[in-house]
Amino acid sequence: LMVTAKAERIDPNAGEVKELFGDIYESKKDYEQAIASYKRAMEVDSNNPRIMSSLAVAYLKTNRNEPARELLASVVLLQPDNGEAYKHLGYCHLRLGEVDGALECYGSAVDIDPNDWDAQRGLGVACVLKGKHKNGTVDEEWKTKAIEHWNRSLDIRPNQPSRERLLKLIKHYSK
């Protein structure tokens, strides 16, 4: 933080310095400080998709899904080929119970980068939720799609976090 403090004294209006502070705070899991720093960076550079994305991710980590969704929606308008933003927006939609939005965004992320294991995994979750009936069963077509995406995710990154949990889901929905 000492280097960024010196940089801020040299040019206190540099959005990059404020963004760097946000990155440092986020790496330390101090999300409130990260959010404050990213907001200050946006005051200087309000249409910077990188800053908007960083702020949105910090919001997601503090369960502030609505402002995260708004920022990420702006990012994908500014950068329609930003697969990371689509993936985070898909996650945001899932957290808000907006399954169709999650399907659309995860689908866009996978279209942009078919090798994004995390987007494939998220798309599988969205498929199961889309196919879920009121009685708790899941439509066969949606189950099949979910399993395909989950298997693709495991093909891309076999040792991914929560691998065992994903394998249990595949086994459960393969019955």
Asked if pLDDT for residue 78 goes beyond 60, the answer is yes
**pLDDT score of 4:** 47
Asked if pLDDT for residue 67 goes beyond 70, the answer is yes
Q: Which of 39, 102, 47 is nearest to 69 (CA)?
A: 102
Question: In this structure, what is the dihedral angle of CA atoms 71, 54, 34, 43, given to the nearest 10 degrees?
Answer: -60
Give, to the nearest 10 degrees, the angle between helix 99-112 and helix 83-95.
160
**pLDDT score of 20:** 85
Q: How many of the other CB atoms lie within 10 Å of CB of 67?
A: 16
Give the CA distances from residue 136 to residues 74, 94, 129, in Å, rounded to whole numbers and listed in that order. Answer: 35, 18, 10
Predicted structure pTM score: 0.88
Bridge partners (DSSP) of residue 138 are 132
Asked if pLDDT for residue 133 goes beyond 60, the answer is yes
- Condensed to tens digits (0 to 9), the pLDDT of residues 3-42 reads 445 545 545 556 677 888 888 988 999 999 999 999 999 9
**pLDDT score of 7:** 47
Tokens found for residue 159: 């040792």
Side chain identity at 96, as an amino acid letter?
L
Answer for the pair 124, 147: CB distance below 8 angstroms, yes or no. yes
**pLDDT score of 22:** 84
Looking at residue 94, the DSSP 8-state letter turns out to be H
**pLDDT score of 171:** 96
Mean pLDDT over all residues of the chain? 92
- Condensed to tens digits (0 to 9), the pLDDT of residues 87-116 reads 999 999 999 999 999 999 999 999 999 999
Q: Find the mean pLDDT for residues 128-138.
A: 94
Answer for the pair 25, 42: CB distance below 8 angstroms, yes or no. no
**pLDDT score of 17:** 79
Q: Find the mean pLDDT for residues 61-75.
A: 97
